[in-house]
A and B are shown apart, each in its own frame.
Chain A
Amino acid sequence: MTVTVFIPGALRNECGGATRLDLEPGEPVSLTGVLDEVAATYPRLDRRIRDERGRLRQFVNVFVNEEESRALAGMDTAVPDGAEVRIIPSVAGG
């Protein structure tokens, strides 16, 4: 299966400037599994997205096929073959 993870501009320096990461998990995965794949290659990018408990940082949103993961099953959200995973920080702050 394939999964594409889109990287926001603020974090692209953590993955060599890539705007997207094309992953090939060997089997159906959860969102945790997708981010574990990201962490295997780009651990510092992962740390910007998740804390050491594996939880999404408060103002980081992850969409799976255009649905926000917190409205689905959170980190247990199933990521289907061909899914687009978008990491989108909240637009907030002064």
Chain B
Amino acid sequence: MTYLLAIGTKKGFFLATSEDRRAWRVDGPLILGGDDSTVQSSVYAIGIDTRRSTPRLLVGADSSHFGPSVWHSDDLGANWNEPAERAPIFFPPDLDTALVRTWQFGFGPDPDIVYAGVEPHALFTSVDGGVTFELNHGLWNHPHRREWYPGYGGAAIHTILPHPDDPDSVTVAMSTGGVYQTHDAGNSWTAVNRGIMADFLADPYPEFGQCVHKVVRDSVDPAKLYAQNHGGVYRSDDEATEWTSIADGLPSDFGFAMVAHPTSGDSIMNFPVAAAAGRFPPGNRLQAQRSDDGGSTWRTFSEGLPEEPYFGIVLRDAAATDGDDDAGWYFGTRCGDVYAAVDSEPRWSPVVTHLPDVLCVRAARI
């Protein structure tokens, strides 16, 4: 069994492989194609498409000089491809809008359907496995769109959750706009933020406008979702119709990343940040918080992490699991350190240290 851990940083893409999830070989930064400058591109989005006979890696990267693109590899990173004739993702010319970057990929139940959430706020769909994408006009034309604003990180759709059984249902989240959902294959979208607070707005519980940082889906019950908000941690038991707070017991209700166990229901990991105005780990101690009862109770999961003061937080896509029943958990920090742990040996150990800021990680058993 081989485990793959893909690491996107502010300056470069790295690939780690392991047979036992304890010893890792780390390669990178990798050149993502013909353009040498991609070796130092910012990598905000990684996808590992395990639905295919050969895993496909997708990387959404952008060069400060030469712009964004999406590269794919069907040989575990040895070779990278990008369509020559057209950009993988681009806004139609009549919209007078340019792609800034890709923030997340989502894989639905249908083969070769891949979603991409991008900045500025938009969703794209691929029917060729993530090689080329087309704009979802239903969401782009939503009347709320002109009232979505960029969060501090950018005006991005950063969460895409295709329903695992219903190809017509997709949930997305953005900063700052909140959570939206379609049940008709993307033709129409509804804001689903009831119960999520927006304490920076005049109406603290608006229809939309919440600064949702990340949403994840329970691995057993697809109607159960968890959200890390800009202040507030929530669960929905009815696929986002209503949200209730599960922040009690956490050292802070602020944060970015949230991860669901790959096979066990009600099991989630949270990576708290002290506060909106103090974006450091609570008490300056790097930590994870874990719940195995859907967020009713939390426990600190920090064995193996640095005990000295630590100032690098975990960004919204910088945590992941690998799909194994004996789950592997992974996260990277803005200090460029990446840690791994497995359920059967719940102790963090470093995969690699001293990388540039880690923006995203994705893991898979291949």
* Residues of chain A having any CB pair with chain B under 8 Å: 9-11, 13-14, 43-44, 47-49, 51-53, 55, 57, 59-60, 89-90, 92-93
Does B35 lie within 8 Å of A14, measured CB to CB? yes
Looking at chain B, what size class is its interface with the partner chain?
A: 20 to 34
Query: Given the interface contacts A47-B69, A53-B98, does A13 sit within 8 Å of B35 by beta carbon?
Result: yes
Q: Could you say which residues of chain B place their CB within 8 Å of the CB of A44?
A: 34-35, 82, 84
Query: Given the interface contacts A43-B85, A51-B99, does A57 sit within 8 Å of B65 by beta carbon?
Result: yes
Does B66 lie within 8 Å of A57, measured CB to CB? yes
* Residues of chain B having any CB pair with chain A under 8 Å: 34-37, 63-67, 69, 82, 84-87, 90-91, 93, 96-99
Q: Could you say which residues of chain A place their CB within 8 Å of the CB of B65?
A: 10, 48, 57, 59-60, 89-90, 93
Does A13 lie within 8 Å of B98, measured CB to CB? no
| Chain A min CB distance to B173 (Å) | 25
Residue from the set A9, A55, A57, A90 with the largest chain B CB neighbour count within 10 Å:
A57
Interchain CA distance A84-B318 in the complex, whole Å: 46
Interchain CA distance A51-B95 in the complex, whole Å: 13
| Chain A min CB distance to B324 (Å) | 38
Interchain CA distance A9-B36 in the complex, whole Å: 9
Query: Given the interface contacts A14-B35, A44-B84, A52-B98, does A59 sit within 8 Å of B64 by beta carbon?
Result: yes
CB<8 Å pairs between A and B, sample of 14: A9-B36, A10-B35, A14-B35, A44-B34, A44-B84, A47-B67, A47-B69, A48-B63, A49-B66, A51-B98, A53-B97, A57-B66, A59-B64, A93-B65
Interchain CA distance A88-B104 in the complex, whole Å: 31
Q: Could you say which residues of chain B place their CB within 8 Å of the CB of A49?
A: 66
* Nearest 8 CB-CB pairings of A with B: A13-B34, A48-B66, A51-B98, A52-B90, A59-B65, A10-B37, A89-B65, A57-B67
Partner of B99, one of A14, A52, A59: A52
Query: Given the interface contacts A13-B34, A53-B93, does A48 sit within 8 Å of B82 by beta carbon?
Result: no
| Chain A min CB distance to B342 (Å) | 36
Residue from the set B84, B85, B93 with the largest chain A CB neighbour count within 10 Å:
B84
Query: Given the interface contacts A52-B90, A52-B98, does A93 sit within 8 Å of B36 by beta carbon?
Result: no
Interchain CA distance A92-B84 in the complex, whole Å: 28
The closest CB in chain A to the CB of B31 belongs to A13
| Chain A min CB distance to B101 (Å) | 12
Residue from the set A14, A47, A60, A92 with the largest chain B CB neighbour count within 10 Å:
A47
Does B98 lie within 8 Å of A11, measured CB to CB? no
